[in-house]
Amino acid sequence: MAVIYEPVSGRALADPDRPLPPETAALQQDVLERALSRYILSVSGWRAVFAAAEESDAPAIRDADAVLLAVAGRTIAELMRERSTRFPPCIALAIDSRPTGPAIGDLLLRTLLAYDVEVQYLYVAAAPEIMAYTKMCADLEGFVYVTASHNPIGHNGLKLGLSDGAVLERERALDVIERFRTNVGDPEYVRSTVRTTRSLPAAQITQAHLSYARWKQRALQTYAAFVRRVISGSGDRQQQIIAALADAVRSAGAGVLVDFNGSARAASVDRTFLREMGFRFTSMHDSIGRIAHAIIPEGAALEPCMNVLEKLQARDEGYRLGYVPDNDGDRGNLVVYLPRSRRVAQLPAQQGFALAVLAELAWRRLQFSDNGIAEEPLAVAANDATSLRIEEIAAAFGARVFRAEVGEANVVNLAQLVRTQGYVVPILGEGSNGGTIVHPSTVRDPLTAIGSLAKLLYARSASSGKDLFAVWCAAAALRDSYRSDYCIEDVIETLPRFQTTATTDPDAVMKISTDDHVLLKLRYEQEFRRQWQQRRAELETRFGIVAAEEINYEGTDERHGFGPDFRSGAQRGGLKMLFRNRDQQAIGFVWMRGSGTEPVFRVLADIRSSDPADAAYLLSWHRSMVEAADRGA
């Protein structure tokens, strides 16, 4: 049989006549163990450099990695068979647009098939697409997604989920990781996995690959329908709401620019869906797999989109929004035209999340007032590094904010827990990276983020003609700030004033030598107590800070108190020092956490202020204490 090629991009998908993975005779157990030591296995996903180097765009992967992927595939197959109520279980499989994706996807496909799992292979798909597809299709019991998200091009990895369309919750994810490690350490398990996978008939491999167009079309249709449901916030009035919103967008002459950067979103529904929503649409770097600049959509990587948006806006004033996804397409960092300032700017991640929270809470209030229905208790779920401005926005609508450790899975699981307590959680996410998740979605999505902004900027009440900015200004007692010809810049001006460290700030990342986070945090607490006494008067004079409270975040757990009694295990969760004023209001914090997907230590400061120097001061102080703890001072 011939090599199978994907007809649009021309990339090789598989050679069915070539058995994979390679024989293990030349791969000693210590070789596999060394390869495994390069992997970062966390609740958020599995990551490693699969190409020859971190920045390599070569499609081949190492033999040792091929064997490890086969073991991973069998481990996942066993999980799916255990949970399934039918045999064989059926799952969705997809990849992002990285060069190593086809090789990894082919290996996983073969192993899953060899171990009695039916696979609907979508080839390149955005993360929100495969997750919505899994959630909405009754025949699917889970998904495997090959991605390293925003990491450099030579990286790749896996995200796993079940039929709810969300990534595995913490305990189950840790269980799968432990199973995988155990299986890799069993030479007979490894040998039998390789033998079984290599014996898969070429005809079965071919059929599975050639079916991808059928499953991809089904996934695109399912995803588009799901996004309509998410944006409308309604099942029974969905068509009416979407049509009215599209008419408002069209009447405003609004346009959107997308810099796909060769990502998986270039193979998704963005073009047709945004046009359906009434937007005029322009794209750039839209060839799948042709990555034009840095994958992480921050800082300099947003500049090409900004430059083109500026040119578009000069010709057509309707173009005021643009977004740049990461490689798996679940992030879509925004660039906006600010008409009062007459300039194009990056929308900071924390600010973007704040606008989305404002929009969704105002939208819900507007919808309830239009239908004469009593409001339910509202809540927002956010990660521990999200700015405190979210509490102030939520409070204006009578909503509570619940927080989890950094990590999309943690926030999604927290929202589910909060709902069991009787709350309605219309929006959740991670302000620190701009990740916005609108219910009933379980993953951040740039299309639903654009939907939130479309509602904020263009939607009007069918009965009163009231817009969301008017709803917000009334809720926040800012009626004098309202103007009927408002733009996004006017809304930004009314947001609670907070200064927050951006993830793009070089000082937001630290390299530390202490691998023992138990010891590091204990030393940090000691250093904080010492320096708190020294700086207390200055902190009160400059910021109004009179009290500090430690909060530790692990998964969905939030524990208040100083010392190791308020942490558990390896203590790798987030640690926050929350600052209060004399009225016991929370007005700022400093935060730290070791990354679960990268070998770095992240730090952040947040303070109620209009002066960026205030956040910089707190961050510098915070870093000095982390450095002292790392030195063992």
The predicted model gives 140-157 an average pLDDT of 94
* pLDDT band for position 372 (cuts 50, 70, 90): very low
> Where in the chain are all domains bearing CATH 3.40.120.10?
4-219, 221-496
The predicted model gives 303-315 an average pLDDT of 97
The predicted model gives 119-144 an average pLDDT of 97
Q: Which is higher by pLDDT, 1 or 214?
A: 214
Between CA 336 and CA 342 the distance in angstroms is 11
Task: Write out pLDDT tens, residues 288-298.
Answer: 999 999 998 88
- Find, among 105, 556, 463, the residue nearest to 289 by Cα: 105
Tell me the percentage of the chain whose pLDDT exceeds 70.
97
- pLDDT of 536 reads 95
Choose from 287-291, 380-384, 428-432 the range with maximum mean pLDDT.
Answer: 380-384
Q: Answer positive or negative: Cα dihedral of 31, 569, 577, 44.
A: positive
Query: Is the pLDDT score of 335 beyond 90?
Result: yes
* pLDDT band for position 409 (cuts 50, 70, 90): confident
Q: How far, CA to CA in Å, does 230 sit from each of 119, 584, 610?
A: 27, 37, 34
- pLDDT of 8 reads 73
Give the global pTM: 0.93
- pLDDT of 184 reads 96
Between CA 493 and CA 331 the distance in angstroms is 24
- pLDDT of 25 reads 63
- pLDDT of 465 reads 74
Lowest mean pLDDT among 27-31, 150-154, 359-363, 601-605: 27-31
Task: Write out pLDDT tens, residues 255-274.
Answer: 999 999 999 999 999 999 99
Query: Is the pLDDT score of 236 beyond 80?
Result: no
Between CA 396 and CA 354 the distance in angstroms is 13
First to last CA, the chain: 66
Task: Write out pLDDT tens, residues 584-611.
Answer: 999 999 999 987 656 678 999 999 999 9
- Tokens representing 502 are 């951006």
The predicted model gives 360-385 an average pLDDT of 82
Task: Write out pLDDT tens, residues 197-209.
Answer: 999 999 999 999 9
Query: Is the pLDDT score of 374 beyond 60?
Result: no
Chain mean pLDDT for the chain? 93
The verdict on domain 221-496 having CATH code 3.40.120.10 is yes
Tell me the percentage of the chain whose pLDDT exceeds 90.
82
- pLDDT of 331 reads 86
Task: Write out pLDDT tens, residues 509-533.
Answer: 999 888 888 899 999 999 999 999 9
Alpha helices in 290-388 (DSSP H): 303-315, 349-371
- DSSP designation for 374: P
Between CA 386 and CA 591 the distance in angstroms is 10
Between CA 367 and CA 462 the distance in angstroms is 9
Per DSSP, the three-state class of 402 is strand
The predicted model gives 296-303 an average pLDDT of 91
Alpha helices in 402-445 (DSSP H): 408-420
Per DSSP, the three-state class of 296 is coil
Query: Is the pLDDT score of 168 beyond 80?
Result: yes
Cβ atoms of 147 and 155 within 8 Å: the answer is no
Q: Which is higher by pLDDT, 571 or 24?
A: 571
- pLDDT of 598 reads 60
The verdict on domain 4-219 having CATH code 3.40.50.450 is no
Spell out the long-range contacts of 300-309 with Cβ–Cβ below 8 A and sequence spacing 24 or more.
Answer: 301/261, 302/333, 302/335, 302/346, 304/259, 305/257, 305/259, 305/335, 306/335, 306/344, 306/345, 306/346, 308/257, 308/259, 308/282, 308/284, 309/257, 309/335, 309/337, 309/344
**Range 506-631: architecture per CATH:** 2-Layer Sandwich (3.30)
Between CA 552 and CA 384, with CA 536 as vertex, the angle to 5 degrees is 20
- pLDDT of 370 reads 54
- pLDDT of 463 reads 64
The predicted model gives 413-432 an average pLDDT of 95
- Tokens representing 11 are 């990339």
- pLDDT of 9 reads 77
Query: Is the pLDDT score of 121 beyond 50?
Result: yes
